[in-house]
């Protein structure tokens, strides 16, 4: 069976992805209700029963809102660091079966090796992931105010990358949002703009990267086509014609991506 990745949804109101291998069934974040997660998994013929675990990047509600019901009803373990565990349990007022990792460490869930690394975001100890599977490597680099050298280095070998492209800076500045919120979003521990995402993609570009998902798009301060255009123009400029750019959405899952056959192209960067 090929390794399969499905972005179940990504945006300011909820984030969740599903990874399936021969030995693991993982959610990356659980920012939707159990009902929503069940409905979205059903579109690909799957169910939350039998999940191997949930990998949690950080404690903000759009990444953990489904954890309490999911984990209490189905006894699904949570993989997170200690600070995130404390914040989740405090916010959701319940105890969880957490498998604690130290940020920067690696661990295994079935046949998936999970590399963790620190990212700059206004949470207790937010992390990104590189998921090393038998058929390819998947990077999750979302919810970060700027792309650090460490974060870029850790996802440089990814064949598939979920990369935040949260806002257009001009649209953010002209929005009706409070000035304090605009500062937070555009700050060093906020969210990547479309231009920031393009800079990050250029920095990590390699022959190994084949699929690039643009995630966490703001409904108010971005447009899907604008995010795609900024990224595609940058990839064209640097000659990265082998990379397929995909848009994620808040309301519907992306088509499932099989990782089998994602072989590097003979392109040098």
Domain boundaries, the chain: 4-255
Backbone angles phi, psi at 224, to 5 degrees: -55, -45
The three-class DSSP label of residue 72 is: helix
How far is 119 from 116, CA to CA, in rounded Å? Answer: 10
What is the CATH T-level fold of the domain 4-255, as seen in this structure?
Metallo-beta-lactamase; Chain A (3.60.15)
Computed over its alpha carbons, how large is the radius of gyration of the chain? 17
- Average pLDDT of each block of 10 consecutive residues along the chain (269 residues)? 95 96 98 98 96 98 96 95 98 96 98 98 98 98 97 98 98 97 97 98 97 97 98 98 97 96 55
Crossing angle of helices 67-74 and 82-92, rounded to 10°: 90
So what's the pLDDT on residue 1? 76
So what's the pLDDT on residue 260? 86
Yes or no: say if 14 and 250 are a contact pair by the CB < 8 Å rule.
yes
Beta-sheet strands, E only, within the chain: 4-11, 14-20, 25-28, 53-55, 78-80, 98-100, 106-109, 112-118, 127-133, 136-141, 160-164, 211-215, 244-247, 257-258
So what's the pLDDT on residue 264? 52
Question: Considering only CA atoms, which of 28, 82, 81 is closest in space to residue 55?
Answer: 28
So what's the pLDDT on residue 263? 55
């Amino acid at each position: 069976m090929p390794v399969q990745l499905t972005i179940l949804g990504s945006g300011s109101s909820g984030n969740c992805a599903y990874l399936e291998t021969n030995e693991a069934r993982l959610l990356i974040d659980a920012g939707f209700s159990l009902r929503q997660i069940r409905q979205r998994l059903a579109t690909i013929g799957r169910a939350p029963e039998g999940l191997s675990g949930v990998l949690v990047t950080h404690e903000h509600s759009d990444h953990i809102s489904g954890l309490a019901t999911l984990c209490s009803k189905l006894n699904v373990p949570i993989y997170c660091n200690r600070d995130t565990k404390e914040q989740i349990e405090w916010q959701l007022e319940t105890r969880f079966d957490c498998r604690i990792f130290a940020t920067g460490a690696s661990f295994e869930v079935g046949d998936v090796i999970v590399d963790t690394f620190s990212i700059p975001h206004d949470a207790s100890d937010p992390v990104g992931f590189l998921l090393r599977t038998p058929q390819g490597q998947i990077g999750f680099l979302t919810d970060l105010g700027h792309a650090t050298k460490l974060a870029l280095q850790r996802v440089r070998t990814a064949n598939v990358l979920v990369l935040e492209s949260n806002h257009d800076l001009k649209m953010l500045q002209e929005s009706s949002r409070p000035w304090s919120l605009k500062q937070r979003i555009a700050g060093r521990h906020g969210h990547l703009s479309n231009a920031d995402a393009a800079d990050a993609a250029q920095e990590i570009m390699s022959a190994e990267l084949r699929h690039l998902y643009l995630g966490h798009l703001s409904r108010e301060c971005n447009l899907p086509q604008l995010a795609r255009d900024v990224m595609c123009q940058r990839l064209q400029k640097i000659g990265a014609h082998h990379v397929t750019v995909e848009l994620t959405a808040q309301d519907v899952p992306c088509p499932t991506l099989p990782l089998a056959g994602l072989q590097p192209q003979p392109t040098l960067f």
